[in-house]
């Protein structure tokens, strides 16, 4: 099936002083693709996401989104047009309830972020509360609705972090280690939910758990020494001798994700 391009990266590199972190990154992402991104520590994965999300400007190269040059567009403007990321570490307002965290995201999404003259109660913002309950129900988090975030387990907080990303109704969702620190049951829960995301949503996933990332992806990008080593079908990546040598050298095996 020929799908339209949503994200295009041409010759992108990033250096800090004389240290080159990424070089000549070039790829094209189709709408609705599920792309797994793997590579050893120090390969440049997080820097790669920082460039896509607008948290860093590239030292060279160009980034396009739906044909628009967004190379120097700041992160908040990228979020507004549909490029949203989650982080390795939770980025939540831990002294607020789960519902309050979700309402703040929905309030911004609906263009109500600067409305201060009305208390954020249900009689004034019934649509926001309805949407929040719908999302919490879909994710099976109704019991956490009124809990203070810092009282939740780390795995539950990771679930909330991903939920907030999805609540923005993104076109491209960049997940950074979505199952890090989770139990096997929590990991299975998140994987099942990610499988239910709309097919038109483009998903890119950095993940160290090979079983998770191979199970979610229809395409894999392997970063190594700041460049793309392999970009292709998961089975091709699984059987690539260079990739296996990298992971076997780190005490891992791609065959574990078979």
> What integer pLDDT is reported at residue 90 of this predicted model?
67
> What integer pLDDT is reported at residue 183 of this predicted model?
86
Measured between alpha carbons, how far is 213 from 191 in angstroms, rounded to an integer? Answer: 9
Write down the pTM of the prediction: 0.84
> What integer pLDDT is reported at residue 258 of this predicted model?
39
> What integer pLDDT is reported at residue 112 of this predicted model?
56
Return the domain boundaries, the chain. 1-82+170-258, 94-169
Choosing among 3.40.50.300, 3.10.20.740, 3.40.50.970, 3.10.20.90, the CATH entry for 1-82+170-258 is 3.40.50.300
> What integer pLDDT is reported at residue 117 of this predicted model?
45
> What integer pLDDT is reported at residue 161 of this predicted model?
87
Residues of the chain with pLDDT under 70: 1-2, 88-90, 110-125, 248-258
> What integer pLDDT is reported at residue 41 of this predicted model?
85
CB 173 within 8 A of CB 116: no
Q: Which of 220, 150, 159 is nearest to 185 (CA)?
A: 159
């Amino acid at each position: 099936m020929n799908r339209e391009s949503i994200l295009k990266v041409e010759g992108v590199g990033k250096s800090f002083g004389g240290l080159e972190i990424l070089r000549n990154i070039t790829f094209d992402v189709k709408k609705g693709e599920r792309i797994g991104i793997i590579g050893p520590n120090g390969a440049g994965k997080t820097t790669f996401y920082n460039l896509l999300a607008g948290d860093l400007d590239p030292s060279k190269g160009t980034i396009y989104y739906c044909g628009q040059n967004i190379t120097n567009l700041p992160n908040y403007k990228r979020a507004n047009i549909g490029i949203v990321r989650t982080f390795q570490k939770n980025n939540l307002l831990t002294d607020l309830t789960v519902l309050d965290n979700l309402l703040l995201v929905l309030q911004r999404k609906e263009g109500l972020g600067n409305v201060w003259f009305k208390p954020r109660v249900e009689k004034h913002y019934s649509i926001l509360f309805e949407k929040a309950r719908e999302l919490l129900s879909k994710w099976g988090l109704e019991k956490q609705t009124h809990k203070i975030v810092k009282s939740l387990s780390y795995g539950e907080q990771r679930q909330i972090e991903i939920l907030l990303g999805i609540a923005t109704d993104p076109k491209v969702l960049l997940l950074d280690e979505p199952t890090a620190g989770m139990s096997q049951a929590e990991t299975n829960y998140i994987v099942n939910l990610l499988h239910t995301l709309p097919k038109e949503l483009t998903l890119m996933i950095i993940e160290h758990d090979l079983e998770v990332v191979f199970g979610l992806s229809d395409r894999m990008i392997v970063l190594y020494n700041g460049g793309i080593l392999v970009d292709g079908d998961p089975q091709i990546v699984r059987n690539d001798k260079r990739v296996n040598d990298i992971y076997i050298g780190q005490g891992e095996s791609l065959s574990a994700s078979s």
